[in-house]
Amino acid sequence: MGEEVLVNLQVHKYQAHKQQTGCTGKRQRTQFVPLSQFDDNLLLSDYNLLEEVKRVAESAQRTRVNLCGHSHFKIPSHPRGLSNASQSHRTKLLFLPSGMSKREKNKSEYNQRVPGHLSMSWI
């Protein structure tokens, strides 16, 4: 069998495999791999994934500095008071980004003038 015919058979077999299984030919980079199957190639792939994530995070931070003038996330004063009050009750609050519809609908508030008054709305 000629080399060209063999290559054509392999390509046909590969294309049939892709159609039957939906395989892309690439390993899912976040899929669990047992330690018994872990090798240097997978280690290098994982390292490259971490480097890519680091590069994207640093790029986002640079963009944030250009847009906002600072690289850290600052909570506005109204939600900050609510966050501080909840922390004193051993509760951690997470805030949605500004502009999100659920954040706009949230009417939770903390009144510093009335001790112990904490109004929360769960969305």
Tens of pLDDT, residue by residue, the chain (123 residues): 556 665 666 777 878 877 888 777 777 877 888 999 999 999 998 999 999 999 998 898 888 778 776 666 666 777 788 888 888 888 888 777 777 788 778 777 777 777 666 666 666
What pLDDT is recorded for position 54?
A: 92
Task: Assess if residue 20 is contained within a domain.
Answer: no
* SS3 call for 22: coil
Residues 88 and 65 in one domain: no
Task: Output the pTM of the full model.
Answer: 0.42
Based on the fold, state whether residues 91 and 112 are members of the same structural domain. Answer: yes
Q: What pLDDT, on the 0 to 100 scale, is given for residue 83?
A: 82
Identify the domain containing residue 106 by its residue range: 77-119
Does 37 reside within a domain?
yes
* Of the candidates 69, 76, 64, the residue with the CA atom closest to the CA atom of residue 106: 76
Examine residue 98 and state whether it is found in any structural domain, yes or no: yes
Position 22 in a domain: no
Task: Looking at the structure, tell me whether residues 55 and 81 fall in a common domain.
Answer: no
Give the H/E segment covering residue 118: strand 118-119
Structural domain contains residue 105: yes
Same domain, 87 and 66: no
